[in-house]
Amino acid sequence: MTITTATAPPVPGPVAAPLERLRAGREFGPNVYSTIDVLWVLYDRVLRITPQTLADPERDRFLLSKGHAVAGYYAVLAAKGFVPADWLDDQGGPDSRLGDHPDRLLVPGVEIGSGSLGHGLGLGVGTALGLRAQGRTDPRVYVLLGDAELDEGSNHEAIAYAGATGLTNLTAIVVDNRSASHGWPGGVASRFTVNGWSAATVDGRDHEALHAALTGHDQHRPHVVVAVVENGE
């Protein structure tokens, strides 16, 4: 009955050690493994941000909206040098900076504190608007959500507005592990495309496909990447 690491899906090489240290013998749910590939592709190949450019206004912004997908996030941040490896011990403990949801004031590289679902995309729209108001056309804002998180109506306020106003510097990433209680008939992407977004739906484990999708935006509208991952993997 115990799920061991032997049955957990493989994770990107550099993430394995920090993830194992963070896990500390606990079991991780499927949501950890469903998100880790897209996080790795983002931090390894897409986002223009390093531990040295955390405060650079020209950096790309990554906003983790589904804050419970935190284990892979911390592991990737550790693998990339944003947080020291010894912070990975005792997650959620009284002296730990790493909670079960991330806090931007406690963890370097974390752009938003999240945990309550449905906040990241609105914050992302505001961030994109702020960058635009400052004339910063290079940085891009990436917001990662889950398909169940899309149940929250706040997302649909943001999707409609960003599409209607052609917010070009915004990419939403929806990890679709089919966990929404009532599903999304017609697919997740259609909720975005009907509002004027460009969209790509790809295998959430396929790093090349993820990379192509995450860099596949055009200059005229917001972009969504739906990363499909089978639940329970």
Partner 1 sequence: MRETFIASATELLADPRTTIVLADISADAFAPAARRYPDRVVNVGIREQLMMGVAGGLALTGQRPIVHSYAPFLVERAYEQIKLDLDHQGVGAVLVSVGASYDRAAAGRTHLSPADVSLLDTLHGWTVHVPGHPDEVPELLRSVVCGRDSAYLRLSTQRNSRPYGGDGALKVVRDAGPGAALLVAVGPVLDAALAAVADLPVTVAYTHRPRPFDTAGLRALAGTEVILVEPYLAGTSARVVSEALADRPHRLLSLGVGRSELRRYGTAEDHTRWHGLDADGLRRSVDGFLRVPSALG
| Site for partner 1, rule CB under 8 A | 57, 103-105, 111-113, 116, 118-119, 121-134, 153-154, 157-158, 160-161, 164
Three-state SS across 5-22? CCCCCCCCHHHHHHHHHH
Strand-pair partners of 198: 223
Radius of gyration from C-alpha coordinates of the chain: 17
Cα gap 209→95, rounded to integer Å? 40
Q: What is the DSSP letter of 88?
A: G
Cβ closer to partner 1: 53 or 116?
116
Q: 60 — phi, psi (to 5°)?
A: -70, 155
Q: How far is the CB of 132 from partner 1 (least distance, A)?
A: 6
Among all chains, which residue has been given the structure tokens 């997302």? 155
Nearer to partner 1, 164 or 212 (CB): 164
Complex with partner 1: residue 79 or 125, whichever CB lies closer: 125
Distance in Å, CB of 95 to partner 1, minimum: 20
Cα–Cα distance between 126 and 132 in angstroms, integer?
A: 10
Residue with tokens 């790493």, as numbered in its chain:
98
Name the nearest CA neighbour of 210 among 44, 32, 16.
Answer: 44
Q: How far is the CB of 58 from partner 1 (least distance, A)?
A: 11
The nearest distance, CB 54 to partner 1, in angstroms, is 13
Task: Write down the least CB distance from residue 213 to partner 1, Å.
Answer: 23
Nearest to 74 by CA among 118, 43, 46: 43
State the nearest-atom distance from the C-beta of 159 to partner 1, in Å: 10
Residue showing tokens 């806090």: 103
Closer CB to partner 1, residue 61 or residue 221?
A: 61
Q: Nearer to partner 1 by C-beta: 1 or 105?
A: 105
Indicate the residue among 11 and 174 with the shorter CB distance to partner 1: 174
